[in-house]
Amino acid sequence: MILTSDEKQIILDSIRDIPDFPKPGIIFKDITTLLSNPKAYNTLMTHLETRYISYDLDYIAGIDARGFIFGAALADRLGIGFVPVRKKGKLPYTTVAEKYSLEYGFDEVEIHIDAFGENGGKKVLLIDDLIATGGTAKAAASLIDKVGATCVEVCFIMELEFLNGKKGIQAPVYSVLVID
């Protein structure tokens, strides 16, 4: 399913730009206004549900923290499980971790070793609100594969295309809104 231009505009208009946050020269895409707009949020979630209903997914994995908002809601709509991909040290059970590069250093994300059950081969959609440089998404997609599942697609609400963040993600990438 493809969003109509009117549906895209409803979603895009609900996202607030915050100039110079968190530092000068950055235009932050604030999704809190999308979340508080029932028409825009329902338009987005209905689109995602329609897109993924035929994928025969077993789980949705959401990246800490805004991916939880969209991922858990979509998992509920599809009647499947939700798995959080968290920053290092936030999960209580045995985990698998993946490092990724930041502008100055590294960070890590983790997933429970048994996040997708005992048997391998589960089909997983990875979701987050925004892809910029793509480091977190690449690490999260790799974690899904490391614990024996298959990342069938990575979905973003927004993609900052000029940063080329989806390069190197091994699964197909779908972005609802592409900002160039």
d(C-alpha 157, C-alpha 96), whole Å: 26
- Burial of residue 154 (number of CB atoms within 10 Å: 0-12, 13-18, 19+): buried
103 catalytic per annotation? yes
Q: Which residues of 88-126 are buried (b: 16+ CB within 10 A; e: fewer)?
A: eeebeeebbebebeeeeeeebbbbbeebbeeeeebbbbb
77 catalytic per annotation? no
Catalytic residue among 7, 51, 77, 103: 103
Catalytic residue among 7, 49, 66, 108: 66
Q: 99: which strand partners?
A: 108
116 token code pair? 């997708």
Catalytic positions, written as ranges = 66, 103
